[in-house]
C-alpha cells in the first residue's frame, strides 16, 4: 500500500509539462506512519522530484518585519502573552517602519512578512494598514519592497477586505494546533481563545477576496500526526470550497524564548520526524509553496530544502525594531533564531548548494495569484517564466547588495542556469535584461 501511495504521488509527464495528483489526508497519513527506512528514502526521493518538477531549483527569499509586540492574548508558548510583564513592549512608529524598511532594502530584501501581536487598542487594523502603505512607499537607492505578506491575528471579513485593498500578498495565519481542547488550553485568554473564529479565518479571508493564504502548525504543541492530518484536511477544505488550496504552508517548531521553555511542551519532534513531515506535505499538496524560517539551523534547513521547501527567510530579526538595533539578542525577540547568518551568507550558501535564490515577485505584481499562479505551476511553465525571473532578480541583488565573493558565485550560477531556459526567445530576453542590469539600466521587470 505504501508503494502504491508513493507511486500515486510521483509527478507524471504530460504533453505540456508535468502533472501531480497529490494525496488525500488519509493516504498522506499512511506515509507519515511508515517507519521502514527504504520506504522513507523513497518518500524523500519523490518529494525532491516534485519540488524540482514544479518549483525547479529556485528558493524564494523573504524576511519578517515585527511591527508591534503589544498583545492581549494569553498564548502560553509565546513571550508576547499579556501576562509577561517583564518584556518591554514596543511598537514601531511610521518613521521607525521607514527606517526598518531602509535597513531591509539595504540588505537586498524585496519581500516581507509583517508580524504583530493582537491588540485592538495599540495595533488596530488602521495601524497595520498605515504600516503597509509606508512599507510600499519607501524606495531607497535601487531598493523597494514589492510584496508584503501579512501575519496578523484572525480578523473580520471587513478587515480582510481592507488588507486586500492595501495590496497585501499572502495572508498568513498559523493554526498553532488543530486539536480543539489543546487549542483552548494553549490559548486560555483573549480573542485568540475562540477556536472556531481562528480556524475559519481563512474562509473569511478568501470570501473577502484574498486569493493567497498561508497555513501553518506550530509543531511541538500537540501530537504531530494529528496536526499533519488537520493541516492537509484544511488544505482540502480550501480547495473544495474556494477552488484553490493554500498558497503556502509553514512548518515552525516551538523555540526557546523569553519566559518560554520548549521543554514545557510534551510533543517536540526530532529532526528526522520533522523531515518526514515536510516530505509528506510535499507529496500531499504538490503545488503549495513551503516555508522554513530561521527558527531552524543551517543543517536542518539544508536537508529540508531538498525535500520540498520553496521559501526561506534570511538575515532575520524577530524583535520589534531589530533591523536598526546594534545589539543582539534583543530584549523583544519573539523566539531564538538558530540561523544567524547574514542575507549575503544565506544567498551564497544557497547557490553553493545548487539553489537559485529568487527575489521575484512578478506573479503578484501581474495579478497572477490564487488559481492563476497554480495554473502556471501545473502547466510546467516554471522554466520559461519563474526561472528567468529568478535569474534576473538574482542579478539585481548581486549588482546592488552582494559581497564580491557572492557576486562571483552568483554570476557563475546565472551563466549556467540561463542555458536551462527551454525557449530560445525567452533565454535571449533574460540574457539581455541581465546585461542591462549589469550596466545599471534598471527597468520594472515584469515577465
Instruction: Work out whether 173 is an interface residue with ligand SAM (CB under 6 A).
Output: yes
What is the C-alpha to C-alpha distance for residues 284 and 229, in angstroms, rounded to an integer? Answer: 10
Q: Which of 42, 91, 146, 192 binds ligand SAM (CB under 6 A)?
A: 192
Our CB check for ligand SAM shows the closer of 281 and 430 to be 281
What is the C-alpha to C-alpha distance for residues 327 and 223, in angstroms, rounded to an integer? Answer: 37
What is the C-alpha to C-alpha distance for residues 8 and 160, in angstroms, rounded to an integer? Answer: 37
Our CB check for ligand SAM shows the closer of 335 and 349 to be 335
Our CB check for ligand SAM shows the closer of 118 and 344 to be 118
What is the C-alpha to C-alpha distance for residues 81 and 259, in angstroms, rounded to an integer? Answer: 10
| Residues 273-312 interacting with ligand SAM (rule: CB under 6 A) | 295
User: Mask: binding to ligand SAM, 332-361, rule CB under 6 A, as x and -?
Assistant: --xx--------------------------
Instruction: Work out whether 376 is an interface residue with ligand SAM (CB under 6 A).
Output: no
| Residues 388-417 interacting with ligand SAM (rule: CB under 6 A) | none
Q: Interacting stretch for ligand SAM, rule CB under 6 A, among 111-119, 271-279, 325-333, 424-432?
A: 111-119
Instruction: Work out whether 78 is an interface residue with ligand SAM (CB under 6 A).
Output: yes
In the bound complex, what is the minimum distance in angstroms from residue 341's beta carbon to ligand SAM?
A: 19
Q: Which of 9, 92, 206, 218 binds ligand SAM (CB under 6 A)?
A: 218
Q: Which parts of 174-333 are beta strand (E)?
A: 213-216, 248-250, 289-292, 311-313
The DSSP symbol for 17 reads: E
Residue among 188, 85, 110, 202 at smallest CA distance from 151: 202
The DSSP symbol for 444 reads: -
Query: Alpha carbon of 214 to those of 68, 76, 194, 329: distances in Å?
Result: 21, 23, 20, 28
Q: Which of 254, 362, 374, 402 binds ligand SAM (CB under 6 A)?
A: 254
Residue 329, preceding peptide bond in cis (omega within 30° of 0): yes
Our CB check for ligand SAM shows the closer of 155 and 395 to be 155
Q: Which of 27, 100, 115, 417 binds ligand SAM (CB under 6 A)?
A: 115
- The set of residues, in sequence order, having a beta carbon less than 8 Å from that of 443 and lying 6+ positions away, is 433, 436
CB 207 within 8 A of CB 157: yes
Our CB check for ligand SAM shows the closer of 147 and 192 to be 192
CB 437 within 8 A of CB 396: yes
Q: Interacting stretch for ligand SAM, rule CB under 6 A, among 12-20, 159-167, 173-181, 398-406?
A: 173-181
Bridge partners (DSSP) listed for residue 68: 91, 116
Q: Which of 58, 255, 276, 306 binds ligand SAM (CB under 6 A)?
A: 255
Q: Interacting stretch for ligand SAM, rule CB under 6 A, among 151-159, 162-170, 280-288, 402-410?
A: 151-159
Instruction: Work out whether 227 is an interface residue with ligand SAM (CB under 6 A).
Output: no
- Kind plus residue range of the DSSP H or E element containing 391: helix 386-400
Instruction: Work out whether 195 is an interface residue with ligand SAM (CB under 6 A).
Output: no
Instruction: Work out whether 257 is an interface residue with ligand SAM (CB under 6 A).
Output: yes
Instruction: Work out whether 152 is an interface residue with ligand SAM (CB under 6 A).
Output: yes
Would you list the DSSP string of 285-302? Answer: STTSEEEE-TTS-HHHHH
Q: Which of 105, 151, 199, 332 binds ligand SAM (CB under 6 A)?
A: 151
The two beta strands, 17-19 and 12-14, are antiparallel
Q: What are 100's three cell numbers?
A: 526598518
For 137, list phi and psi in degrees, rounded to 5. Answer: -85, -15
Tell me which residues touch ligand SAM (CB under 6 A).
Answer: 77-78, 115, 117-118, 151-153, 173-174, 176, 192, 218, 252, 254-255, 257, 260, 295, 334-335
Amino acid at each position: 500500500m505504501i508503494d502504491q501511495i508513493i507511486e500515486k504521488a510521483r509527478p507524471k509527464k504530460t504533453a505540456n509539462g508535468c502533472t501531480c495528483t497529490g494525496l488525500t489526508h488519509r493516504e498522506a497519513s499512511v506515509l507519515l506512519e511508515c517507519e521502514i527506512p527504504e520506504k522513507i528514502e523513497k518518500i524523500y526521493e519523490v518529494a525532491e522530484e516534485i519540488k524540482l518538477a514544479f518549483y525547479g531549483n529556485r528558493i524564494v527569499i523573504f524576511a519578517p518585519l515585527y511591527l508591534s509586540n503589544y498583545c492581549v492574548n494569553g498564548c502560553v508558548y509565546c513571550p508576547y502573552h499579556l501576562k509577561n510583564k517583564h518584556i518591554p513592549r514596543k511598537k514601531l512608529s511610521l518613521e521607525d517602519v521607514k527606517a526598518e524598511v531602509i535597513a531591509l532594502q539595504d540588505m537586498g530584501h524585496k519581500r516581507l512578512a509583517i508580524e504583530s501581536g493582537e491588540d485592538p487598542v495599540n495595533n488596530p487594523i488602521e495601524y497595520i494598514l498605515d504600516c503597509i502603505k509606508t512599507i510600499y512607499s519607501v524606495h531607497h537607492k535601487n531598493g523597494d519592497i514589492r510584496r508584503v505578506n501579512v501575519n496578523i491575528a484572525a480578523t473580520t471579513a471587513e478587515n480582510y477586505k481592507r488588507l486586500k485593498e492595501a495590496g497585501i500578498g499572502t495572508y498568513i495565519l498559523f493554526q498553532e494546533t488543530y486539536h480543539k481542547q489543546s487549542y483552548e488550553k494553549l490559548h486560555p485568554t483573549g480573542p485568540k481563545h475562540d477556536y472556531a473564529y481562528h480556524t475559519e479565518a481563512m474562509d473569511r479571508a478568501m470570501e473577502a477576496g484574498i486569493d493567497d493564504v498561508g497555513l501553518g502548525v506550530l509543531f511541538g504543541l500537540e501530537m504531530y500526526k494529528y496536526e499533519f492530518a488537520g493541516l492537509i484536511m484544511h488544505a482540502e477544505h480550501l480547495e473544495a470550497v474556494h477552488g484553490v488550496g493554500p498558497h503556502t504552508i509553514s512548518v515552525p517548531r516551538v523555540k526557546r524564548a523569553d519566559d518560554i521553555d520548549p521543554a514545557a511542551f510534551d510533543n517536540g519532534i526530532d529532526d528526522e520526524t520533522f523531515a518526514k513531515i515536510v516530505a509528506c506535505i510535499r507529496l500531499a499538496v504538490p503545488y503549495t509553496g513551503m516555508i522554513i524560517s530561521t527558527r531552524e539551523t543551517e543543517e536542518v534547513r539544508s536537508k529540508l530544502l531538498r525535500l520540498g521547501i520553496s521559501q526561506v527567510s534570511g538575515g532575520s530579526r524577530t524583535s520589534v525594531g531589530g533591523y536598526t538595533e546594534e545589539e543582539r539578542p534583543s530584549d523583544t525577540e519573539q523566539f531564538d533564531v538558530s540561523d544567524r547568518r547574514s542575507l549575503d551568507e544565506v544567498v551564497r550558501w544557497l547557490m553553493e548548494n545548487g539553489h537559485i535564490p529568487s527575489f521575484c515577485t512578478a506573479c503578484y505584481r501581474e495579478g497572477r495569484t490564487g488559481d492563476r499562479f497554480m495554473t502556471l505551476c501545473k502547466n510546467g511553465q516554471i522554466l520559461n517564466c519563474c526561472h528567468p525571473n529568478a535569474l534576473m532578480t538574482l542579478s539585481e541583488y548581486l549588482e546592488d547588495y552582494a559581497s564580491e565573493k557572492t557576486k562571483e558565485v552568483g554570476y557563475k550560477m546565472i551563466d549556467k542556469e540561463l542555458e536551462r531556459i527551454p525557449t530560445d526567445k525567452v533565454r535571449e530576453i533574460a540574457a539581455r535584461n541581465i546585461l542591462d542590469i549589469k550596466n545599471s539600466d534598471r527597468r520594472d521587470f515584469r515577465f
